[in-house]
Amino acid sequence: MKPLLVPLLFLYSLVAQAQESDLFDVFEEDTQREVVYATFKGTQLINASTNETPGEGVLQFMMAHRFGSFNDDYLYNFFGLDNAQVRMQLDYGVTDRLNIGIGRSSFLKVADGFVKYQLLQQQQGTRTVPISITLHSSTNYRNARYTDGIDHGMSDRFSYMHQAIIARKWNRKLSTLVSPSVVHFNLVPTAQDPNTTAHISLGARYKISNRMALTGESTLLSNREFSSGERYTTPFALGVDIETGGHVFQLHISNTRAMNGPYWMARNPYSASNGGLFLGFNISRVFTVKE
């Protein structure tokens, strides 16, 4: 847990600042108070979710690709294209603050459903609110067959992720997020291993032009090793956002192949030190279906 102490202290200081405003007053109408929008350009930073939601009546379709690793016969596999992983996601803004969605990934054939809610919005004006807080939960179901010879029940296939996404837009160019998260797997290697683990994701976005921005993220783990001998690494990613009209194109490199929260966050076996790096991209398109 020691690697989590520094970001926890940073997180505590941000929340303490937010408490300077009476939380009951935060939600009252105030014409001299302005909500800070577009902390991040999309609902995903790279793998990590941001505080953003599509908006009321907006339908978003997202497709994500993760190509094969550099150490997996890269040229023979046509620069990783032959063994790419794909995820498709469809989500809808029920209100400006509430977002629900579903997705499906080729990695372990995981299907998922999720909900996001903007609990607190960053505001500036006569009484400032220095941060935004968005709650995000997902339920994930593994459809891939197990190869251990055991007849697994349906409950073994479920995993869950819950997090509070605490974000701040510092100025026109820089935005950051800190996301304390809890991941739960119904099935773990042995009875001595924890089903539930804690994580903290750190992320940032820096605009370099009106249509381009640099992004980066990493997630700290509370549990790296299991009694079965499995060892997991710290996931990280670096990328660039490119905005083109109604599309947001995100090109990146990371040491993770999975695209569902519990798997890339808590069960990432790849390491950059031995070539476990993956090129990938996310592309999203929004459609206004309700004015």
What are the residue boundaries of the structural domains of the chain, listed by start?
Answer: 2-288
pLDDT confidence tier of residue 13, bands split at 50, 70 and 90: low
Q: What does the pLDDT look like over 190-238, one tens digit per residue? A: 888 999 999 999 999 999 999 999 999 999 998 888 877 888 999 999 9
Closest CA to 255 of 243, 230, 273: 273
Give the pTM.
0.87
Q: What does the pLDDT look like over 173-188, one tens digit per residue? A: 999 999 999 999 999 9
Q: Rounded to an integer, what distance in angstroms lies between the CA atom of residue 268 and that of residue 34?
A: 40
Cβ neighbours around 261 below 10 Å, total: 27
The CATH number of 2-288, from 3.40.50.300, 2.40.160.40, 2.60.40.10, 1.10.630.10, is: 2.40.160.40
Q: Rounded to an integer, what distance in angstroms lies between the CA atom of residue 143 and that of residue 53?
A: 28
DSSP 3-state assignment of 213?
A: strand
pLDDT of residue 248: 87
φ, ψ of residue 40 in degrees (nearest 5): -125, 160
The two structure tokens encoding residue 170: 């510092």
Residue 270 per-residue DSSP state: -
pLDDT of residue 178: 99
pLDDT of residue 27: 52
In this prediction, residues 248-275 reach a mean pLDDT of: 93
pLDDT confidence tier of residue 22, bands split at 50, 70 and 90: very low
pLDDT confidence tier of residue 101, bands split at 50, 70 and 90: very high
Question: Residue 181: beta bridge partners?
Answer: 163, 199
Type and span of the H or E element at 261: helix 261-266
User: Radius of gyration (Cα) for the chain, nearest Å?
Assistant: 19
